[in-house]
Amino acid sequence: DEAAESATFWHHGSLDRAKLEQRVSLMGELDRAIDSGEIEVHYQPKLSLADDRITSVEALVRWRHPERGMIRPDLFIPLAEQTDRIAPLTLYMLDRITRDMAAWRERGLTLSAAINVSARLLTHTSFGEALCAVLTSGRIAPGSLILEVTESATIDDPDRAAETLRRYRDLGCAISMDDYGTGQSTLSYLQWLPLSELKIDRRFVQHAHLNHADELMVRSTIDLAHGLGLKVVAEGIEEEGCLTFLKEAGCDLAQGYFISRPLPLAELDALLGCHAKV
Ligand code: C2E
Ligand code: CA
Ligand code: CA
Ligand code: CA
């Protein structure tokens, strides 16, 4: 098992031996981490720009490691993808998220939640079964769960992926194309996949109010998405000027540190409570 993992890592080139060993051991620990409650979900609010309300959140995984502290997803998600641990991790996230959504619903909150799903999981049998079970259980409101499909791995079988996504969509799941603008075949995916939302990557958004090329990219993406009947989410809003620009440009939803950092559940609940009172 470990030898197979090493082969995968070496394949990517420039890692030295120490880093390699560290990564192999981190993946061994991930299995334990899921069972021992070290994996947490944080939620980052998305602001609806038409009415200045928080209408949805994105779930982001956090690993609170007993010795290393918080480990960033950028450090273990790509490894989990390479070593087939992304399925158990995503299943765990799905379970946590749907519990939280059911609780919000009971309290009368209308809130959508997005889960990040690697493209390669789209055709994974147990993930598909778990997702369909959630969508048909009646525990969450129809249309309130969003799959953010990340393109970190290219889709091997686009026909099969599209067919699978259509099934999820027909069961009331919304599909969002994440990190738009950074992938290799994003334009063809736009035509191919049954999307309802497009997320512009933060590298284009961050300086769109300051940089003409970024501004053009954002404006033309909004036009294209709206032309295709999709909602547009911009991520990585760190300044007020950026938010003002996005409102003017007709963007639908905005997400970023200027609006809110990703929050643990209790802090999100407090924030939503304040909003409801206003
Ligand atoms: P992403 O899906 O593009 O998520 C947005 C990332 O941008 C998050 O990083 C978020 O904390 C960060 N962010 C939000 N607002 C701002 C901002 O204003 N400025 C800047 N500089 N960053 C901002 P995070 O939580 O570290 O996650 C990194 C990536 O890891 C995610 O990128 C996603 O691709 C992946 N990821 C996170 N959770 C999961 C998960 O449960 N499953 C899978 N498959 N991938 C996940
Ligand atoms: Ca995402
Ligand atoms: Ca993104
Ligand atoms: Ca990203």
Å from CA of 264 to ligand 3 middle: 19
- Residue of 42, 60, 127 to test ligand 1 pocket, by largest number of atoms within 8 Å of CB: 60
What is the position in ligand 1's atom list of the atom closest to the CA of 258? 18
Q: Tell me which residues have their CB within 5 A of the ion that is ligand 4.
A: 179
CA separation for the pair 197, 115 (Å, rounded): 13
CA separation for the pair 61, 93 (Å, rounded): 7
Helix/strand/coil for 155: coil
Q: Give me the mean pLDDT over the 151-171 stretch.
A: 84
The Cα angle at residue 275 between residues 180 and 203, in degrees rounded to 5: 20
Residues 6+ apart with CB under 8 A from 224: 190
Confidence of residue 54 (pLDDT cuts 50, 70, 90): very high
CA dihedral angle for residue 249, residue 252, residue 258, residue 264, rounded to 10 degrees:
-170
Å from CA of 60 to ligand 1 middle: 6
CA nearest ligand 1 atom 11, residue: 262
Lowest mean pLDDT among 13-22, 124-133, 172-181: 13-22
**CB 158 within 8 Å of CB 140:** no
CA nearest ligand 1 atom 15, residue: 256
**CB 183 within 8 Å of CB 204:** no
Instruction: Spell out the alpha helix ranges (H) of 151-264.
Output: 158-170, 186-192, 202-205, 212-227, 240-249
Q: Tell me which residues have their CB within 5 A of the ion that is ligand 2.
A: 116, 148, 178
Both tokens assigned to 273 = 């409570």
Confidence of residue 157 (pLDDT cuts 50, 70, 90): confident
Å from CA of 179 to ligand 4 middle: 5
What is the position in ligand 1's atom list of the atom closest to the CA of 148? 2
pLDDT in tens, 238-278: 999 999 999 999 999 999 999 999 999 999 999 998 655 43
Strands (DSSP E) found in the chain:
39-48, 53-65, 69-71, 112-118, 145-150, 173-180, 197-200, 231-235, 253-255, 263-264
Nearest to 47 by CA among 237, 270, 175: 237
10 Å Cβ neighbour count for 36?
A: 10
Residues 6+ apart with CB under 8 A from 160: 122, 123
What is the value of pTM for the model shown? 0.91
**CB 96 within 8 Å of CB 261:** no
CA nearest ligand 1 atom 35, residue: 73
Å from CA of 75 to ligand 1 middle: 11
pLDDT in tens, 187-244: 778 888 899 999 999 999 999 999 999 999 999 999 999 999 999 999 999 999 999 9
CA nearest ligand 1 atom 24, residue: 73
pLDDT at 136 over 50: yes
Å from CA of 146 to ligand 3 middle: 13
